Structure 1
Amino acid sequence: MGNCAIAGRFYLTIGGKQISARGAFDIQPLNYEREGEANQDGTIFVSEKAVPAEASGSLSYSRDLNLETLYQICGVPATIELVNGDTFVFPAAMVVGTPKLNTEKGEISDFKIISQTCRRVLGA
């Protein structure tokens, strides 16, 4: 078997409720980031700092899901399941940023969740 891309559909579930996502979601599962810089003598060093794991994208607007409801999401499990079966689990997700309702597209854009950790579960 060769390598195959993991593109296509995915499913977003927050607090046990499946939500209809639009387009692609960007997932940043690491909870740290590194930066490299140089000393005055040209030697380099790397510093690392903690950051939240996050996922961001757009959701389909529905009467069941509005901006106030999104902001009430705090500390609940969120999962993003790819069609190949791989799943990214955010165990205590919180909504951050400023989600916006685009009435022309019927979508909530700039939707972002963060969590202290993210765990990747490989599909079968």
Structure 2
Amino acid sequence: MSSPNAGGFVELTIDGVRYSISGELEIEETNFEAEAQVNQDGTVSRTQKPKPYKFSLSIRDRQGPSIQRLLYRDDTLIDVSAIEKQMKRGVLLTGAFATGTPKRNTANGEISGIEIVSDQMRFIS
């Protein structure tokens, strides 16, 4: 039987340090994208191409070490987990790195535009 729960609390951990998510966490759980193609005779087909697993998120700046410097160092591969408390499941990206263009809002402390990508993902409990 499936759970009636959706949403709820999310615990984000980057290399063992917990961070507060300020907005939604979007998780791309597939490492491919598919697109419909229409052939010249009107029939349809599908093409697929690989892509990384991805977390898209915004976090709250707590006046600690610069999260941008932590995530965007050239030599850093990180492990990132997101535990969905009410859903009783989690997702782990290992050997990940950050992409995107982070922006820090000085009025509310939100750092947005962060993406974490990896070619390795697994579900954890």
* TM-score of the pair, normalised by structure 1: 0.89
> What is the CA–CA distance in structure 2 between the aligned matches of 1:81 and 1:19, rounded to whole Å?
12
In 2: Cα distance, 1:26 partner to 1:95 partner: 14
**What are the within-5 Å matches in structure 2 for residues 106-117 of structure 1?**
106-117=109-120
Are the equivalent residues in 2 in contact too, given 1:99–1:108 (CA < 8 A)?
yes
Q: Which residue of 1 aligns with 2:91?
A: 88
- Match runs of 1:9-20 below 5 Å: 9-20=9-20
Partner of 1:70: 71
Aligned twin of 1:103: 106
Normalised to the residue count of structure 2, the TM-score between the two structures is 0.89
- Structure 2 residue runs of 5 or longer lacking an equivalent are none
Runs of 4+ residues over 2 Å off in structure 1 = none
More strand per residue: 1
Root mean square deviation, CA, Å: 1.6
| Superposition deviation, residue 2 in structure 1 | 6.1
> Sequence identity, in percent?
30
Local SS of the residue matching 2:93: strand
Distance 1:16 1:116 in 2: 20
Task: Check if 1:119 corresponds to 2:122.
Answer: yes
Q: What count of residue pairs does the alignment treat as equivalent?
A: 122
Is the 1:6–1:82 contact (alpha carbons within 8 Å) kept by the matching residues of 2? no
- The 3-state SS of whatever aligns with 1:74 is coil
* C-alpha distance in 2 between matches for 1:64 and 1:70: 13
